Chain A
Amino acid sequence: MISPSQVEVDRDKGNFHYDTDYSFDAGIGLSEDVIRYISEVKEEDPWVLDFRLKALKTFEKKPMPTHWATEDLKNINFDVIRYYLAKGQKPSRTWDEVPDDVKNTFERLGIPEQERKFLAGVEAQFDSEAAYSRMNEELEKEGVIFVGSTEGLKEHPEIFRKWFGKVIPTSDNKFSALNSAVFSGGSFIYIPPGVKLAQPLQAYFRINAENFGQFERTLIIADEGSEVMYMEGCTAPKFETSTLHSAVVELVALKGAKIQYVTVQNWSNNVFNLVTKRALAEEEAEVRWIDCNIGSRLTMKYPGVILRGRKARGEVVSIALANDGQHQDTGAKMVHAADETSSNVVSKSISIGEGRSSYRGLVQMPGHLKGCKNNTECDALLINNNSQTDTYPAITVQGDANSVQHEASVSKVSAEQIFYMQQRGLGEAEAMSLCVNGFVNDLIREFPMEYSVELKRLIDLEMEGSVG
């Protein structure tokens, strides 16, 4: 019989913070004045301010979704959060110009090395605004745009305004409304027709201040036949009080385009991570959400794809790891809205200690469509006897020309498996680690090399001391 002990998560890489003086601070709490302040310092067009003010009203009207979601949401106090903190309005283009404290932060996290090694463009967001942003010059010449949300709306309205807030309307949910009211930072990306990025673009999100809410807004438009991979990573130091991160990410894949969106979420475990992510896939386009949730106190994130064009394809691949005090409430939404569209969801979760992981899914196929297919698999692994896992899919299929299959299983690492490996000379902890790695191995391979190595290491660390 295995009697696992508590597992300690290695989050130390992100657990440090430097005191920073902010030049722009919207104060504590949320009000119309805060929104006017944010809009003013960003020198936004009047329509953006209107958009924000309307969103604030929607946010105030919308109830908390606690009729289905966890009661933990009630512990968010919107009145003590700081909604906007920035050192400056323009991101630096060269690493030398970045302020020292911010530079130290990102250097400790290894951002410049990664950029040199394999990235086509990088953006590093420090609290509300990007501190550093750089694009490969050749790609810039080809017309690739990689800017922050403020710059995107101001400098390229002809490209971004058309899709901004269209994939995820303000009133989608309470937190998308909040984000629409106070958004700042994030990436606005445009890939021109036929341009295929060989190397990924990366954004790095960092919360540095206590009681701060980060509300980045990302919009990626991949024009006809283009291809892009975007990666984001997130960290925050461990503070005494909880922090809120509520992003809105919209992807638009036009005819034949391919977007891969990779997230490695490693917030410290006092962050409420409430994110709305949705993509629109036109004819023969392909959108893949590759998602890994290791950190945060509560994550609620259900990446979706609206399959709007014939033969569009959507995929969500996700790994969640919930440890003590964590609730990973993740899932996927697949809305089929055209013939011959297909979607695939593979979700694996591991619950350790008192951790809880949930899968919520939604699949919709209306009756007038033909030849739509969905496949969903969710597997959960429970390590300790007080770990919890839930699965709540919702599947609606109309008509006799589509097919859906859903399967979920829950298991634990069996004593037999451990015994088998111990017989062959492996230690118990090693055996356990091997089993868990085997459980997620096929998904880890979906992540870019740099991440998969890191993930494997992280899981090994997590499993250390989990048996004994």
Chain B
Amino acid sequence: MSLETISPASMDTFSLSQPHTFNEFAESRSWEPGWLADYRHDCWEKFASLPKRILKDERWRFSPRTRFGFDQISGLSLPKESLTLAVPSLSDGLSIDLFDQLLLEEPHALTLLTKLMGPDLGADDYSFLTGAFAQTGFLLRANKGVAGVSPIIIEHQEPEAGQIAFHHNLIVLDANTEVTIVERFVGQANNPGGCISNLLKVQLGEGARLNRIVIQECSSKATIVQMENFNIGKNAYLNSTNLHLGGSQSRIESKGILKEPGAHFEYGSVFLGNEEQLFDQRTIQVHEAPHCTSNLLCKNALRKEAKSIFSGLIKVDEEAQHTDAYQTNRNLLLSSEAEADSLPGLEILANEVKCSHGATTSRIDPQELFYLHSRGISKVEAEKLIALGFLSESLLNIDHQETRDTALNALADAFSS
């Protein structure tokens, strides 16, 4: 039996609030190994037992949570179209595979996916549903000492309106490896407005380096939920640079856990908001071990009625002496209806630490505008130049030139539209 003929996307009465939806889905996947079936069932049970209405949840503070509801969703997107890879010639010991292929060829490789945790920063519903329904995702593995030269490109496709795509992804880098990946979230041209729920779990071994660049250009009707959990080992280095442009509403949950001494977490995020876009971002830097460093910079520029929420926390455990951790949120408001909410938090239990956070929200300095204006640059153009300069800081740190140009061009295009 081919997978397509029983794709649950064709189910008549698909609804994520109905148990029969999951039961029919599970039945259609009865060929899967038992441990995966159990995992899916367990995730569904957890989703089903979530309280229906929570009035006050600090993890959703300031967020209009109804915009992330499931009422409009009437089917699952086809896994084949939902996620594609562009893989350069890879060195031996470095591999990237799709979840559905691996399931047929090497199912055991996926067991780690069920053991690692998600970020657990509030979107429990999406996280459990992804565990229960994911049919695709990527698994990137690097054996000890392997370095990838050119970046691996992963494309997440926005589904058609009414459909939801669940991607469950895993990156495991062994000791002393280095890999660069570019994850692109691509918009739907015909009938846009689908939902992507993307769950990524990362494990970095001793001295491993992962450079990850995310460029999100979904349609302006899409719903995007990204959940990512980075487990960073001894002297390992994670660099994640994120450009968010599309989406009607996005929820981004990023967790960096510095598990062993010498680990470093570098995170940069850029959001350009327009119209009624909502960008709801939650981050946490967890310092579990001593002598680790982390640095996070989130910049949002908001036009029209766009709204951003930044909620970040630096958590330093008692054992994590000699921690160096920074967190910065900068918001630029470009219209009188834009709104920026900022919740920068610190929880420090060790005393030999250097920790600080800063949050600022402001408009463009009129003096800067005047300076450009007096040199013949129109007000609109001047605003654009200043805003681009403000946003591009993180993107300029992308090492791979082609990717950097792609990101900068995408940002400039978004501003002109």
Q: Choose, from A271-279, A322-330, A379-387, the stretch at the interface.
A: A379-387
Please give the residue numbers on chain B whose beta carbons come within 8 Å of chain A beta carbons, in ascending order.
56-58, 61-62, 318, 321, 331, 333-364
In the complex, chain A residues whose CB is within 8 Å of the CB of B352: 385, 412
Give which listed residue, B333, B337, B346, B354, contacts A408 with CB less than 8 A: B346
Instruction: Indicate whether A398 sits within 8 Å of B337 (C-beta atoms), given known contacts A385-B318, A407-B358, A408-B356.
Output: yes
Besides A394-B341, A407-B356, 18 more A-B contacts (Cβ < 8 Å) are A367-B337, A380-B346, A382-B350, A390-B346, A394-B61, A394-B62, A398-B337, A399-B335, A399-B338, A399-B339, A400-B363, A400-B364, A403-B362, A404-B360, A405-B359, A406-B342, A406-B344, A409-B355
In contact, B345 and A410 (Cβ under 8 angstroms): no
Nearest B residue to A384 via CB reads: B351
A68 CB–B CB distance under 8 Å:
yes
A389 CB–B CB distance under 8 Å:
yes
In contact, B345 and A391 (Cβ under 8 angstroms): yes
In contact, B336 and A400 (Cβ under 8 angstroms): yes
A392 CB–B CB distance under 8 Å:
yes
Please report the C-alpha to C-alpha distance between residue A406 and residue B359 in the assembled complex, in whole angstroms.
5
Instruction: Indicate whether A407 sits within 8 Å of B333 (C-beta atoms), given known contacts A385-B321, A395-B341.
Output: no
Instruction: Indicate whether A397 sits within 8 Å of B344 (C-beta atoms), given known contacts A385-B352, A404-B362, A408-B356.
Output: no
In contact, B360 and A400 (Cβ under 8 angstroms): no
In contact, B348 and A400 (Cβ under 8 angstroms): no
In contact, A395 and B342 (Cβ under 8 angstroms): yes
Query: Distance (Å) between the CB of B130 and the closest chain A CB?
Result: 26
A-B contact pairs, 30 of them (CB 8 A): A67-B58, A68-B56, A367-B339, A380-B346, A382-B351, A385-B318, A385-B351, A388-B347, A388-B348, A390-B346, A391-B346, A393-B342, A393-B345, A394-B61, A394-B341, A395-B341, A395-B359, A396-B62, A397-B342, A399-B338, A401-B336, A403-B361, A405-B360, A406-B344, A407-B356, A408-B356, A409-B355, A410-B346, A412-B351, A412-B352
Please report the C-alpha to C-alpha distance between residue A408 and residue B354 in the assembled complex, in whole angstroms.
11
Query: Distance (Å) between the CB of A417 and the closest chain B CB?
Result: 13
Chain A contact residues: over half helix, strand or loop, or mixed? strand
Nearest B residue to A377 via CB reads: B358
In contact, A400 and B355 (Cβ under 8 angstroms): no
Please report the C-alpha to C-alpha distance between residue A409 and residue B338 in the assembled complex, in whole angstroms.
29
Nearest A residue to B355 via CB reads: A410
In contact, A367 and B343 (Cβ under 8 angstroms): no
In the complex, chain B residues whose CB is within 8 Å of the CB of A400: 333-336, 338, 363-364
Nearest A residue to B315 via CB reads: A390
In the complex, chain A residues whose CB is within 8 Å of the CB of B340: 395-398
In contact, A367 and B345 (Cβ under 8 angstroms): no
In contact, B363 and A401 (Cβ under 8 angstroms): yes
In contact, A388 and B346 (Cβ under 8 angstroms): no
In the complex, chain B residues whose CB is within 8 Å of the CB of A389: 346-348
Number of A-B contacts (CB under 8 A): 137
**Lowest 9 CB-CB distances: which A-B pairs, in order?**
A382-B351, A403-B362, A400-B363, A409-B356, A391-B346, A397-B361, A395-B342, A410-B355, A398-B339
Nearest A residue to B331 via CB reads: A397
A23 CB–B CB distance under 8 Å:
no
A411 CB–B CB distance under 8 Å:
yes
Nearest A residue to B332 via CB reads: A400
Query: Distance (Å) between the CB of B98 and the closest chain A CB?
Result: 41
Give which listed residue, B58, B346, B356, contacts A68 with CB less than 8 A: B58
Query: Distance (Å) between the CB of B357 and the closest chain A CB?
Result: 5
In this complex, the member of A384, A392, A401, A410 whose beta carbon has the largest number of chain B beta carbons within 10 angstroms is: A410
Please report the C-alpha to C-alpha distance between residue A398 and residue B353 in the assembled complex, in whole angstroms.
34
Please report the C-alpha to C-alpha distance between residue A408 and residue B361 in the assembled complex, in whole angstroms.
15
In the complex, chain B residues whose CB is within 8 Å of the CB of A393: 342-345, 359
Instruction: Indicate whether A394 sits within 8 Å of B362 (C-beta atoms), given known contacts A388-B348, A410-B348.
Output: no
In the complex, chain B residues whose CB is within 8 Å of the CB of A396: 62, 339-342
In contact, A367 and B348 (Cβ under 8 angstroms): no
In contact, A395 and B361 (Cβ under 8 angstroms): yes
In the complex, chain A residues whose CB is within 8 Å of the CB of B346: 380, 389-391, 408, 410
Please report the C-alpha to C-alpha distance between residue A386 and residue B338 in the assembled complex, in whole angstroms.
42
In the complex, chain B residues whose CB is within 8 Å of the CB of A67: 56-58
Please report the C-alpha to C-alpha distance between residue A421 and residue B49 in the assembled complex, in whole angstroms.
60
In the complex, chain B residues whose CB is within 8 Å of the CB of A410: 346, 348, 353-356
Please report the C-alpha to C-alpha distance between residue A188 and residue B350 in the assembled complex, in whole angstroms.
44
Please report the C-alpha to C-alpha distance between residue A455 and residue B219 in the assembled complex, in whole angstroms.
59
